[in-house]
């Protein structure tokens, strides 16, 4: 059974002075042993969050990583630098694609570095509103998945715990969300591409998260889709009550899926 994951992307919010206390509050409000919880704070707050949640069963992730292991890249952070600070990393978030002009080829190189360094990757894919309106959303996302996974060994992707997050770009920070049915259909489309470029076994095992203005009020409809295995949460992840609701619903889903599999 695929795990149910709630990953918090704090983006450019919090400081080392307040990140730890926020993480502790979220951890206490959202305990659920059957849900994988991940907090991805800014680089400067990684140590504070790590120290705060060491005993709380929450994993820590970085929001990005460089595509080289070392070198003359001023202001960048490499995968080896994250050792001991994070065990997960977000790759190819739509804001990185937009603001840093990250391509699928570059994200592919970052994914390779993450796998080599033992960081569990959350690879983000998603279409613009114009793509969906033109009926090419699935083609765009399929091309992103192919580009991001190109040339990487299926066993390495499986061993590295690949996670894919579907984030329709037009639903991020806008208050709009994709319909649960559309997100579920896209998750299935993503798995078809993973089966094509990697292996059917990996396609069946890879968790697919939904990301796009997800909150405690709408998470249940997305988790009702069998192909969706959790959420990559933005703004709501900074609010302990929201995280409690998100993880609580994820826990209900995880229990129901486990019961269905056992029965």
List Cβ neighbours of 119 (8 Å cut-off, separation of 6 or more).
62, 65, 79, 82, 86, 87, 88, 89, 160
User: CB–CB of 162/123 below 8 Å?
Assistant: yes
84-87's contacts with Cβ under 8 Å and 24+ in sequence apart are 84/50, 85/46, 85/47, 85/50, 85/60, 86/40, 86/46, 86/50, 86/60, 86/61, 86/62, 86/119, 87/59, 87/60, 87/61, 87/118, 87/119, 87/120
CB 209 within 8 A of CB 230: yes
Q: Say whether pLDDT at 177 is over 90.
A: no
pLDDT digits 0-9 by tens, 36-61? 999 999 999 999 999 999 889 999 99
66 belongs to the catalytic site: no
Q: Look at residue 34 and tell me whether its pLDDT is greater than 80.
A: yes
- For residues 133 and 94, give the distance between their C-alpha atoms in angstroms, rounded to a whole number: 18
Mean pLDDT of the chain: 96
Q: How confident is the model at residue 170 (pLDDT cuts 50, 70, 90)?
A: confident
Q: How far apart are CA 206 and CA 257, in angstroms?
A: 16
Non-local (6+) Cβ contacts of 181 within 8 A are 225
To the nearest whole percent, how much of the chain has pLDDT over 70?
100
Read off the pLDDT band of 149 (50, 70, 90). Answer: very high
102, 167, 225, 242: which is the annotated catalytic residue?
A: 167
Band (pLDDT 50/70/90 cuts) for residue 226 is very high
Q: Looking at residue 178, what is its pLDDT?
A: 84
Q: Please name each of the domains of the chain with its CATH number.
A: 5-262 (3.20.20.70)
CA–CA dist 214, 152 (Å, integer): 30
Count CA atoms closer than 13 A to 236's CA, side-chain side: 25
pLDDT category of residue 120 using cuts at 50, 70 and 90: very high
Instruction: Tell me, yes or no, if 225 is annotated catalytic.
Output: no
**Res 86 pLDDT > 90:** yes
Q: So what's the pLDDT on residue 174?
A: 73
Dihedral of CA 65/66/68/72: which sign?
A: negative
pTM of the complete model: 0.96
The average pLDDT across 166-172 equals 89
Indicate which residue of 66, 67, 93, 102 is catalytic. Answer: 93
Per-residue model confidence (pLDDT) at position 164: 98
């Amino acid at each position: 059974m695929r795990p149910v994951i709630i990953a918090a992307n704090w983006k450019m919010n919090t400081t080392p002075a307040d990140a730890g206390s926020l993480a502790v509050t979220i951890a206490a409000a959202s305990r659920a042993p059957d849900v994988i919880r991940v907090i991805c704070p800014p680089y400067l707050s990684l140590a504070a969050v790590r120290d705060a949640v060491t005993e709380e069963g929450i994993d820590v992730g970085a929001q990005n990583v460089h595509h080289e292991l070392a070198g003359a890249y001023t202001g960048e952070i490499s995968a080896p630098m994250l050792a001991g600070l994070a065990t997960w990393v977000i790759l190819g978030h739509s804001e990185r694609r937009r603001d840093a002009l990250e391509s699928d080829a570059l994200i592919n190189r970052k994914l390779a570095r993450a796998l080599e360094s033992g960081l569990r990757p959350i690879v983000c894919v998603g279409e613009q509103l114009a793509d969906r309106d033109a009926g090419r959303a699935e083609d765009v996302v399929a091309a992103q998945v192919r580009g991001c996974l190109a040339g990487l060994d299926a066993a390495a992707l499986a061993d590295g715990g690949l996670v894919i997050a579907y984030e329709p770009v037009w639903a991020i920070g806008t208050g709009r969300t994709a319909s649960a049915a559309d997100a579920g259909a896209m998750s299935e489309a993503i798995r078809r591409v993973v089966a094509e470029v990697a292996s059917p076994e990996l396609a069946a095992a890879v968790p697919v998260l939904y990301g796009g203005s997800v909150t405690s009020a709408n998470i249940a409809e997305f988790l009702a889709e069998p192909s969706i295995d959790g959420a990559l949460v933005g703004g709501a992840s900074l609010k302990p009550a929201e995280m409690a609701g998100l993880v609580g619903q994820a826990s209900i889903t995880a229990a129901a899926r486990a019961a269905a599999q056992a029965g």
